[in-house]
Amino acid sequence: MPEIEQGPIRPPSEAQSLLLRVTRNCSWNRCEFCHIYKGKRFGLRTVAEVKKDIDAVKAIVSEIRALSWNMGCGGDINASVVRAVLHGPDPCPEGYRSVMLWLYRGGADVFLQDAHNLAHRTKDLVEILSHLKETFPSVRRITTYTRARTIARKSLQELRDLHDAGLSRIHVGLESGYDPLLKLVQKGVTARELVDAGQKVKQSGISLSEYIMPGLGGRKMWREHAIETAKVLSGIDPDFIRVRTFKALEIMPVYKRIESGELELMTDDEIAAEQRLLIENLNGLTGYFASDHVLNLLEELEGQFPDAKEKMLAVIDRYLAMDPEERKNFRLGRRAGYYRALDDLHNPEMHSRVRSILQRIEKENPGGFEAVISELMEGFI
């Protein structure tokens, strides 16, 4: 079977996308809240290597479509074909499996891995994008991660060339707009650089998705983190703002700051208040605000600006006004997968089930509720 190389992660919004590895790991790799690439060397995959993977994907597609025809499915990649591949007599390599699922989901989107693809020379990326589009003319969207400082090193014309070659969207980890916090966690960028890079992407015609991290500033910097991040986002007006609530793991470098007391972790309720301050200070936006990650407590904080602003503030106010025991019930139900929205609390069966679990936790481990919540969240990373 043809094989393709794939990296470790992708954004949740790229769940339907084909994963095509263009670089390995992260060139910066110093952010203290990220553990994904620690201990791994950054490298650019050659144009020839990436084109070889694209050709391998084409070969896999041909094999799977041939199987579909042999099964009488007319070339369609339906559930029967998926089952035949997954449960066939031969082991299914991960790359083969991912291509099959990509076809099953429509085969329309591609995400370029890993963390820093614009480190490539523009002409090399254009060659890769062109080969991808020529090989799969039906692909409608191609997206990538990159760093703001790398964007700054590209001219506006280079970004426009990438857009013309097929690059649809850039995902940027903004995290915070507060310079002292950016410095503390070794983000390697300033608020001004984030604004300049974001504006350049917008001018190029490429869609921009910026990621923010509520809770990252802890109790000492939460207010500045919220207000200054809102200023940066308002200065960019990205197409998407995506929320990734901060959750520290012991293997993250930032954890030593937590152990020393330099960074004091916030509760869900405190982070909700921080998010309210941020949203309240977002002005002049036209993009989409998305809480599309399971780490986020309030998934309902989502919608198109400016219309969704008041609705999202109302959701936070509703949560914070709830009885403390109801907030605990919702937090546990959300982290355990029972609830997705505050209205789910009105489901008697789910509410009763979560209440029973909560009572058992408090009986078996008095005072251990927060530890349980933390453990559940760790499972999402």
Query: Is 331 domain-assigned?
Result: yes
Q: Could you tell me what percent of the chain has a pLDDT over 70?
A: 100
Place of tokens 């990509």: 102
Contact yes or no for 204/253 (Cβ under 8 A): no
Cis peptide before 137 (omega within 30 of 0): no
Query: Is 56 domain-assigned?
Result: yes
- Least Cα distance to 247 among 269, 219, 218 occurs for 218
pLDDT band at 268 (very low <50, low <70, confident <90, very high): very high
pLDDT at 153 exceeding the cut of 80: yes
- Least Cα distance to 327 among 295, 370, 368 occurs for 370
pLDDT at 254 exceeding the cut of 70: yes
Query: Is 311 domain-assigned?
Result: yes
Query: The CATH number of the domain where 165 resides is what?
Result: 3.80.30.20
Residues 259 and 378 in one domain: no
pLDDT at 88 exceeding the cut of 80: no
Distance CA 223, CA 77 (A): 50
Mean pLDDT of 106-127: 95
Contact yes or no for 222/181 (Cβ under 8 A): no
CA-based torsion, 79, 111, 244, 265: positive or negative: positive
- Least Cα distance to 112 among 150, 59, 169 occurs for 169
Residues 310 and 331 in one domain: no
Residues 286 and 351 in one domain: no
Mean pLDDT of 91-102: 86
Distance CA 80, CA 111 (A): 26
- b/e burial code for range 213-251 (CB count within 10 A of at least 16 → b): bbbbbbeebbebbbbbbbbbbebbbbbbbbbbbbbbeee
Query: Is 4 domain-assigned?
Result: no
Q: Please give the distance of CA 176 from its chain centroid, rounded to a whole number.
A: 15
Torsion angles phi and psi, residue 261, rounded to 5: 90, 0
Residues 59 and 91 in one domain: yes
Residues 257 and 369 in one domain: no
pLDDT band at 1 (very low <50, low <70, confident <90, very high): low
Distance CA 24, CA 193 (A): 24
Residues 332 and 307 in one domain: no
Calculated CA dihedral for residues 108, 111, 112, 117, nearest 10 degrees: 120
Torsion angles phi and psi, residue 355, rounded to 5: -60, -40
pLDDT at 365 exceeding the cut of 90: no
pLDDT at 2 exceeding the cut of 80: no
Mean pLDDT of 248-276: 94
Distance CA 228, CA 226 (A): 6
Query: Is 204 domain-assigned?
Result: yes
Query: What's the token pair of residue 47?
Result: 């144009």
Mean pLDDT of 149-172: 97
Of 271, 289, 322, the last residue of a domain is: 322
Q: Could you tell me what percent of the chain has a pLDDT over 90?
A: 83
Residues 365 and 290 in one domain: no
Of 294, 322, 350, the last residue of a domain is: 322
Residues 207 and 70 in one domain: yes
pLDDT tens figures, 8-61? 888 888 988 999 999 999 999 999 999 989 989 999 999 999 999 999 999 999
Query: Is 106 domain-assigned?
Result: yes
Q: Please give the distance of CA 87 from its chain centroid, rounded to a whole number.
A: 30
Residues 232 and 357 in one domain: no
Query: Is 23 domain-assigned?
Result: yes
Question: If you ran DSSP here, which 8-state letter would residue 378 be given?
Answer: H
Query: Is 161 domain-assigned?
Result: yes
Distance CA 15, CA 18 (A): 8
Q: Please give the distance of CA 120 from its chain centroid, rounded to a whole number.
A: 22
pLDDT at 292 exceeding the cut of 70: yes
pLDDT at 380 exceeding the cut of 70: yes
One-letter amino acid at 4 equals I
Q: What is the mean pLDDT of the chain?
A: 94
pLDDT at 89 exceeding the cut of 80: no
Domain count, the chain: 2
pLDDT tens figures, 169-186? 999 999 999 999 999 999
Residues 61 and 190 in one domain: yes
Residues 127 and 236 in one domain: yes
Of 290, 322, 354, the last residue of a domain is: 322
**Structural domain of 62:** 12-322
| pTM of this structure | 0.93
Residues 284 and 254 in one domain: yes
